[in-house]
Amino acid sequence: MNLGIEKAAKMLLLERGDFYATDPFVVENFLKNKEKSVFKKHPDCCGGIKPMYIGFSRKSKFITEISNQNYNKKKITSIKNYPFILAKGSVANIFGEAVREVVRNHQ
């Protein structure tokens, strides 16, 4: 079930739940706007920060795809073996590069 942070906070206050997990930036943003904290943040929950994938719809106007010259039809299709890749200069590719730069600067 997809439960937004506002509803999760209400449920926790009503003692209808014990645990809520979400991305750290969601909690940080939520806590900025609240006087009283509903949450206690676990500093290393579930093994700490882990890599995530960000996705755009292939039908998005921000996507421009080109054939992936490294795609291998004999291997299972995966995030690393896909028939198409993002064209350099497409908004989705520029966004991805910016995210990777942020990650590199925070390691």
> What pLDDT digit, counting tens, does each position of 31-84 carry?
777 766 666 667 776 666 677 777 888 889 999 999 999 999 999 999 899 999
> What residue segments make up the domains of the chain, in order of their start?
5-47, 65-105
> What b-and-e string marks burial along 2-41, b requiring 16 or more CB atoms within 10 Å of the CB?
eeebeebbeeeeeeeeeeeeeeeeebeebeeeeeeebeee
Task: List the structure tokens of 20.
Answer: 């809520």
Q: What is the pTM of this model?
A: 0.53
Q: Are 60 and 92 spatial neighbours (Cβ–Cβ below 8 Å)?
A: yes
